[in-house]
């Protein structure tokens, strides 16, 4: 017999008293009205922005791949190199940190230390880290490489640690019952359970890093983003449109490839 419920039951209300609900609704509406009124809108700037936006759309519809192709090619190669190297470096560092941040495998001091690294990495958005690293190491792809590798550590370590903590405890206990050491437990009980997920997350992070390489290039961290920023500053919207189309095409290729690899692995 099927146990699927046939009737819908309303979830319990957060505030059961009608007066409290009405007060909260009225307060939210008043706050929204005051917030909207506090926004200072310069309609002349909006009009000028729409005009520039239309010129950009026209350039996007008629992209120019030839005039600045050498710059586009150089920025693209730099961005792809930065993406690959930072992703590989980030994965290599993330694996031990993710294992250390798993509560079911690590002692408390190691757990707290690794969780602290993850929290530090996830506290800042990539572009803020890029600004700091550009100020420290100067303009160029090295700052971009460090930024993406640092962001990869926070992203991958956190998700890997959560996957390890969600592993089947019976398999881990079964391997421990054979007298296996810590490393053998990781290798024979944890690794088979998390490896498909780790590969999928790594490919997903590769996709993210390429898109982020276009963003952090705007603040001087190299890559195709710097070329895009230069094209926009020179009002060469047709070249900027060509760069955006190339970015979209590469992201699509990476997305479809990663989906295929994830299905193959799983």
Asked whether residue 98 is assigned to any structural domain, the reply reads yes
The whole model's pTM is what?
0.75
Asked whether residue 28 is assigned to any structural domain, the reply reads no
Asked whether residue 200 is assigned to any structural domain, the reply reads yes
CB contact at 8 A, 262 and 200: yes
Which stretch of 27-31, 151-155, 219-223 has the lowest confidence by average pLDDT?
A: 219-223
Asked whether residue 85 is assigned to any structural domain, the reply reads yes
Asked whether residue 89 is assigned to any structural domain, the reply reads yes
Write out the residue range of the structural domain in which residue 87 sits.
62-265
Query: Does residue 7 sit in helix, strand or coil?
Result: coil
Asked whether residue 2 is assigned to any structural domain, the reply reads no
Q: What does DSSP assign to residue 187?
A: I
CB contact at 8 A, 111 and 101: yes
pLDDT of residue 96: 92
Q: What is the distance, to the nearest Å, from the Cα of residue 119 to the centroid of all Cα atoms in its chain?
A: 15
Mean pLDDT of the chain: 84
Q: Which of 89, 110, 243, 217 is nearest to 156 (CA)?
A: 89
Run of H or E including 163: helix 141-165
Query: Rounded CA gap, 112 and 114, in Å?
Result: 6
pLDDT digits (tens, 9 = 90+) for 81-92: 888 999 999 999
pLDDT of residue 62: 82
Asked whether residue 49 is assigned to any structural domain, the reply reads no
pLDDT digits (tens, 9 = 90+) for 15-28: 777 788 888 989 99
The total domain count for the chain is 1
Q: What does DSSP assign to residue 217?
A: G
Asked whether residue 189 is assigned to any structural domain, the reply reads yes
Q: Which of 73, 76, 68 is nearest to 237 (CA)?
A: 68
Q: What separation in angstroms does the CA of 138 have from each of 90, 142, 228, 230?
A: 21, 8, 19, 18
Q: What separation in angstroms does the CA of 123 have from each of 150, 172, 247?
A: 11, 32, 27
pLDDT digits (tens, 9 = 90+) for 144-194: 899 999 999 999 999 999 999 888 888 888 888 888 888 888 888 888 888
Query: Rounded CA gap, 225 and 243, in Å?
Result: 9
Query: Rounded CA gap, 56 and 228, in Å?
Result: 13
Say which CATH number the domain at 243 has.
1.10.3720.10
Phi, psi angle pair for 254, to nearest 5°: -65, -40
Query: Rounded CA gap, 99 and 89, in Å?
Result: 16
Query: Rounded CA gap, 242 and 228, in Å?
Result: 9
pLDDT of residue 85: 92
The band of 213, judged by pLDDT with boundaries at 50, 70 and 90, is confident
């Amino acid at each position: 017999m099927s146990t699927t419920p046939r009737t819908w039951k309303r979830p319990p209300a957060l505030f059961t008293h009608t007066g409290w609900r009405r007060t909260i609704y009225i307060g939210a509406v008043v706050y929204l009205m005051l917030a909207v009124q506090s926004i200072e809108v310069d309609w002349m700037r909006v009009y000028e922005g729409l005009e520039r936006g239309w010129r950009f759309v026209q350039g996007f519809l008629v992209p120019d791949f030839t005039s600045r192709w050498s710059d586009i090619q150089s920025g693209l190669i730099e961005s792809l190199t930065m993406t690959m190297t930072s992703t590989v470096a980030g994965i290599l560092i993330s694996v031990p940190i993710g294992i250390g941040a798993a509560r079911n495998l690590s002692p408390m001091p190691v757990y707290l230390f690794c969780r602290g690294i993850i929290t530090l990495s996830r506290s800042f958005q990539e572009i803020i880290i890029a600004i700091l690293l550009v100020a420290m190491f100067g303009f160029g792809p090295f700052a971009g490489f460090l930024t993406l590798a640092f962001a990869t550590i926070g992203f991958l370590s956190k998700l890997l640690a959560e996957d390890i903590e969600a592993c089947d405890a019976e398999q881990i206990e079964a391997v421990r019952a054979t007298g296996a050491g810590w490393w053998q437990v990781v290798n024979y009980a944890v690794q088979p359970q998390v490896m498909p997920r780790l590969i999928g997350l790594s490919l997903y992070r590769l996709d993210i890093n390429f898109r982020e390489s276009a963003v952090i290039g705007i603040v001087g961290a190299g890559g195709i983003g710097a070329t895009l920023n230069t094209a926009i500053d020179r009002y060469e919207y047709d070249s900027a449109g060509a760069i955006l189309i190339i970015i979209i095409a590469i992201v699509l290729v990476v997305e479809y490839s990663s989906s295929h690899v994830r299905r193959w692995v799983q």
